[in-house]
Chains A and B, each alone.
Chain A
Amino acid sequence: MSVLAPSSSCCGTKTASTFPSPSKGGSSDKTPDSSAKHPFGTVAVIGPPNSGKTTLYNRLTGLRQKVGNFPGVTVEHHIGHVKGEDGRAVALIDLPGIYSLSPKSEDEQVTMDVLDGKRPEMPRPDAVIVVVDSTHLSRHLVLVARVIALGLPALVVLNMADELRQQGGDVDVLSLARQLGTPVVLASATNGEGLPAIHAFLFSHSGSPRPLNLPVLNDAVGCREWAVRVGVNASYRRPAGPVWTHRLDAVFLHQFWGPLVFLATVVGVFQITFAVGQPLSNAFQSVLDAAGAHLGNYLPNGLLRSLLMDGIWKGVGSVLVFLPQILLLFLVIGILEDSGYLARAAVIADRTMARVGLNGKCFIPLLSAYACAVPAIMATRTIESKRDRMATILIAPFMTCSARLPVYTIFIAAFVVNRPLLGVFFGTRAAAMLALYLLGFVMAVLTARILKASVLKSKDAHFIMEMPPYRRPTVTSLALRLVDRGRAFVFRAGTVILVVSILLWVLTTFPLHHGQPAPLQQSLVARAGKVLEPVIAPLGFDWKIGVGLVTSLAARETIIATLGTLYGIDPESHSMSLQTALRHEISPAAAIALLVFFAFAMQCVSTLAVVRRETNSWKWPALQFAYMTLLAYGGAYLAYHLMRL
């Protein structure tokens, strides 16, 4: 037995003085010697996945946090600040969820390095908060012991105290603190229990702790025996298990109802984005249009007004209108993920995913790829099999992301007459949209099969997935996701699309002809577009679409802004709405070819950048770009010529 019992009565008293009654969690730093105490500079928050660490972190720092990435590795961290009563702030670093401190994975290696002060970009933390799930105490105590053994001032947070009690569990916090030699607090990120005690810890730096002799942890069985003994000494009563989780699983993992609920959920996600999101986006569009018209009245006629209204407002606005729809999609997926349902969905999808050589875990990133491939590709980190992960990264951009939505919506509205097919809710337009979604999906499946049967063939495919209990998603964590994604989208509209809009306006307006913009045919953009035209003519595209394709390399939805600007400037289509102008300029066959092109093509700088970061090489994004572009060109060519038969 390689366990040394900590003999630490002194630490026990220290714990008791900092937290007179930890179970109430209401202590403050108003201890007699509070004058000697000062806040920590930087505190790291670590803990296993599913311990509610991030929820607690969000609760402590609120929306004041930044996501960062450690250079050279795909490990993400958050930095936020907690303000004390006197206005002083403590920097809180949220490190990735880890099960152990044996540097086996990249996450664990980076966490170790940060705690040892070996990452140059980040100062060594002055203290650590270890967040564990109090309902799984014995399993997580080993990680706690390892962190404490590092010698930094540490606070052990037993999270999910509310669940522990509801399920009839209990633990003697003081006894646990005495055994571990560190303060321990029962907390609940959901209802705020224990937060004052955590605050008190952050703002009451009172010297370094004595290094402790904790178990030498290199044998799993020994560690577990130690953890169980510590638990028994602290009269830990294990909870009976979440009743609601069992009840819900009886339905969601039912042999018959489970798959039905799964299908209903997937259909529901899309139904909500269209049935609720579309009207929202339309309303937002009218607001933007009205505001634009109003603002335009204040500007004198001339080049400046043309730049601001025709160039910038139209260009940026045509993309911005999709914000409500995109946020809604992220909200729905966020609720599914935070509630714990997606883990069940992964179990249900596993068999089907196995047919294409993937596993159930790949389902979660692929579902989020319908919102955006960028977070989806980052979410593939949970897939342990490197080859499965790579295959998922490579097929994720085929899923119809929200940036394709504007293109599909406008082209379908312009070229497909709406006739009811199956009742009022499913007409020809809905069918066309569904067909495009299926097209991307089928190509993803085919690509996965090819990859998994060749370069990414794996010897043994595994599926190991921890099922979190069902939880009510918290408003803060949902809000954080939305703010994060909304900010990224608006940022793109405000930078890439703004620049493209201005550039395009310049290229369409100049060279000036007697102080007036030249006719479009003689503008710089027309000259550039016509150079490109021979390449895309076989797809039925003219130079204006060519310009749109080039600008959409930055982001797919930019083509709408581009065509809006080009048609808006052309006197022939100046007074038409974008839809009428499209019908006037593009043949139906070319329109279909364009839709097929967009279904397959990799026109997204952000996705390429994230693939490069996640795979740590230029090879994969380059191959992916080439493959998808060829596929898009071939598909569009076929579609154009089939449509003209």
Chain B
Amino acid sequence: MKLKMISNFTDASCAALSELQEGATGILSELDLTSRISEHLMNLGFIPGVEITVARSGPGGDPRIYCVDGAEVALRAELACRIGVRPVPRIAEA
């Protein structure tokens, strides 16, 4: 089942976090969520400007685990699609 995009990111170059492939990285640019949930996510490290990398996922690809600031947080696609990121082209491992 494909989730319908309902988010309107202010920055047009933003992609939804849920659209990134496993292993891809993006820079968090905005959270289109209620303040309660945004605040909770920010406490977990989801602060605009940080790098987010997509890690493993549960069966069928949902929920997915995201690495942010050294922490790993599992989110459902329905929430991740409201988080706007600017994809970072993949570079060779340092």
Chain A interface (Cβ < 8 Å from any Cβ of B)? 99-100, 102, 104, 135-136, 138-139, 220-221, 224, 238-239, 241, 249-250, 253, 255, 258-259, 343, 346-348, 350-351, 354, 359-360, 384, 460-467
Contact = CB atoms under 8 A, between A and B. Distances in A.
A462 B37 contact: yes
Nearest to A240: B70
Nearest to A469: B72
Given A139-B45, A224-B49, A259-B59, A347 B65 contact: yes
B49 A221 contact: yes
A100 B43 contact: yes
Given A99-B44, A104-B39, A253-B56, A136 B71 contact: yes
B89 interface: no
A466 B75 contact: no
A347 B44 contact: no
A272 to B, nearest CB: 25
A135 B60 contact: no
In the A-B complex, the 7 residue pairs with the closest CB atoms? A99-B43, A467-B72, A253-B56, A347-B58, A465-B74, A220-B42, A463-B76
A84 B49 CA distance: 47
Given A139-B70, A249-B56, A464 B45 contact: no
Given A258-B59, A347-B63, A360-B63, A466 B71 contact: yes
B41 A464 contact: yes
Contact of A463 (B59, B60, B63, B72): B63
A351 B60 contact: yes
A136 B44 CA distance: 10
Interface string B67-86: 10111111110110000000
B4 interface: no
B11 to A, nearest CB: 15
Contact of A464 (B58, B69, B70, B74): B74
B67 to A, nearest CB: 8
B interface, size bucket? 20 to 34
Contacts of B48: 220-221
Most interface-central of B36, B45, B47, B69 (chain A CB within 10 A): B47
10 contacts: A99-B44, A220-B47, A239-B70, A241-B70, A253-B56, A255-B59, A259-B59, A351-B62, A463-B79, A465-B73
B48 to A, nearest CB: 6
Nearest to B45: A139
Contact of B70 (A104, A135, A253): A135
A394 to B, nearest CB: 23
Contacts of B37: 462, 464
Given A224-B47, A249-B56, A463-B79, A384 B40 contact: yes
Contacts of A255: 59-60
B58 A253 contact: yes
B88 interface: no
Given A224-B50, A351-B58, 10 more contacts: A224-B47, A347-B58, A347-B65, A350-B58, A351-B60, A360-B74, A462-B79, A464-B74, A466-B71, A467-B71
A45 B83 CA distance: 34
A211 B62 CA distance: 48
Nearest to B35: A104
Given A136-B69, A139-B71, A464 B44 contact: yes
Interface in B7-61: 36-37, 39-45, 47-50, 55-60
A465 B41 CA distance: 10
A253 B79 CA distance: 20
A350 B76 CA distance: 9
A635 B80 CA distance: 43
Contacts of B45: 139
Contacts of A241: 67, 70
Contacts of A249: 55-56, 65
Nearest to B38: A220
A466 B59 CA distance: 18
A460 B78 contact: yes
B50 to A, nearest CB: 7
Most interface-central of A100, A102, A135, A220 (chain B CB within 10 A): A220
A548 B56 CA distance: 52
Given A99-B44, A463-B63, A467-B74, A348 B58 contact: yes
Given A224-B50, A384-B40, A462-B37, A347 B74 contact: yes
A138 B69 contact: yes
B72 to A, nearest CB: 4
Contacts of A465: 63, 73-74
A123 B37 CA distance: 33
B59 A351 contact: yes
Nearest to B36: A104
A389 to B, nearest CB: 15
A135 B69 CA distance: 10
Contacts of B50: 224
Contact of A238 (B36, B55, B59, B70): B70
A136 B39 CA distance: 18
Contacts of B71: 136, 139, 466-467
B76 A462 contact: yes
Contacts of B73: 464-467
Contacts of A346: 74
Contacts of A384: 40
Nearest to A467: B72
B87 to A, nearest CB: 20
A239 to B, nearest CB: 7
